[in-house]
C-alpha cells in the first residue's frame, strides 16, 4: 500500500477519519455486547427467548449479527476503490498516518491492519458470498465455511484486532487511548430478559391457580370493563 492512494493528506483529514472510525468502533462494541448478552450468555437464556417469541428473536439475532458482520468488513475495505471512490476505513487511516508521520513510525500500523484482515477472513468471505451477495457455488455445494454463522470467538478476534489498531494509532498521534469496549449497554438486554422472565413466572402462577387473572393482568381487565360501560 502507499500513501499516494489517498492523495494529499491534511491533519484535519486524519483527525476526521480517526474520529469517524472511533465512533463506528464504539458503536460496534456496544451492539456486540447486546448480542452476546442475549444470544451468547447461556443456553437457559436462549431457551427463555425461544419460549417467549422464538421466531421474533431468531429474526433479531440474524439481523443483528449480519449488521455487525457487515460493519466490521466495511471498516476493512480498501482506502480507494476504482479511480475516485474513497472509503472511510482503517486502511485510509493507516495511509493518511503514513503521509503525516515518518515511515518507521507507521510501519507497525500496517502489521496491526494485516492482523485485523487475517482475523476477519471468514467474515469477508461471508460478506462476499452469503451476505451482500449469494454465491451460486457456495450455496449449491452447501459450503459451511461460508454459510455457517460466525462464532462469537471470530467476531471477538476481529473487534479486538481493530481495537488494537485504533489504539496503536492513538498512541502514535499522542491521543488519549480509547477503551472501546467500555461502552457496555447490556442494561437494555438485561432489562428485557428480566421482563420476559417475570412474564413467564406470572403466567405460571395464574396457570397453577396461585394468582387470579384480574390481579396478574389488571390493565387488561380495566380495559375490558371500561369498554363494557360505554
Query: Which residues on neighbouring strands pair with residue 80, listed in sequence order?
Result: 86
181 Ramachandran zone, left/alpha/beta (phi>0; psi -120 to 50): alpha
What grid cell was written down for 56? 421474533
Percent of the chain residues past pLDDT 90, beyond the cut = 70
Confidence of residue 112 (pLDDT cuts 50, 70, 90): very high
Strand partners, 86: 80
Distance CA 21, CA 69 (A): 16
Reply yes or no on whether the pLDDT at 54 is more than 50.
yes
Beta-bridged to residue 85, according to DSSP, are 81
Looking at residue 4, what is its pLDDT?
A: 47
Tell me the three cell numbers of residue 67: 449488521
**pLDDT exceeds 80 at position 221:** no
| Alpha carbons 126 and 120: distance in angstroms, whole number | 10
Residue 2 above 80 pLDDT?
Answer: no
Q: What is the mean pLDDT of residues 40-57?
A: 95
pLDDT at 29: 95
Per residue in 34-65, is it b (16+ CB within 10 Å) or e — as a string?
A: bbebbbbeeeebbebbeebeeeebeebbeebb
178-206 pLDDT, tens digit per residue, is 999 875 566 788 889 999 998 888 888 88
Evaluate if residue 1 carries a pLDDT over 50.
no
Q: How far apart are CA 16 and CA 58, in angstroms?
A: 37
Residue 41 Cα to chain centre, angstroms: 16
Note the pLDDT of residue 196: 92
- For the chain, helix (H) and strand (E) counts, in that order, are 11, 2
Give the pTM: 0.85
Query: Which uninterrupted H or E stretch holds 81?
Result: strand 80-81
Mean pLDDT of the chain: 89
Give residue-wise pLDDT tens across range 60-80: 999 999 999 999 999 999 999
Amino acid at each position: 500500500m502507499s500513501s499516494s492512494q489517498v492523495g494529499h493528506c491534511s491533519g484535519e483529514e486524519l483527525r476526521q477519519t480517526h474520529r469517524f472510525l472511533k465512533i463506528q468502533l464504539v458503536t460496534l462494541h456496544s451492539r456486540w455486547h447486546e448480542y452476546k448478552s442475549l444470544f451468547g450468555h447461556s443456553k437457559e437464556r436462549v431457551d427463555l427467548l425461544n419460549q417467549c417469541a422464538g421466531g421474533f428473536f431468531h429474526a433479531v439475532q440474524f439481523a443483528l449479527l449480519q449488521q455487525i458482520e457487515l460493519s466490521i468488513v466495511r471498516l476493512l475495505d480498501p482506502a480507494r476503490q476504482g479511480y475516485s471512490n474513497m472509503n472511510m476505513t482503517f486502511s485510509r487511516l493507516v495511509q493518511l498516518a503514513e503521509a503525516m508521520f515518518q515511515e518507521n513510525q507507521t510501519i507497525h500500523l500496517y502489521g496491526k491492519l494485516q492482523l485485523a484482515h487475517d482475523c476477519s477472513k471468514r467474515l469477508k468471505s461471508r460478506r462476499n458470498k452469503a451476505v451482500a451477495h449469494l454465491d451460486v457455488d457456495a450455496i449449491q455445494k452447501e459450503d459451511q465455511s461460508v454459510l455457517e454463522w460466525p462464532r462469537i470467538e471470530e467476531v471477538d478476534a476481529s473487534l479486538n484486532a481493530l481495537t488494537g489498531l485504533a489504539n496503536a494509532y492513538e498512541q502514535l498521534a499522542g491521543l488519549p487511548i480509547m477503551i472501546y469496549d467500555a461502552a457496555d449497554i447490556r442494561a437494555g438486554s438485561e432489562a428485557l430478559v428480566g421482563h420476559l422472565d417475570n412474564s413467564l413466572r406470572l403466567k405460571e402462577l395464574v396457570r397453577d391457580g396461585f394468582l387470579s387473572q384480574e390481579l396478574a393482568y389488571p390493565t387488561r381487565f380495566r380495559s375490558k370493563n371500561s369498554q363494557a360501560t360505554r
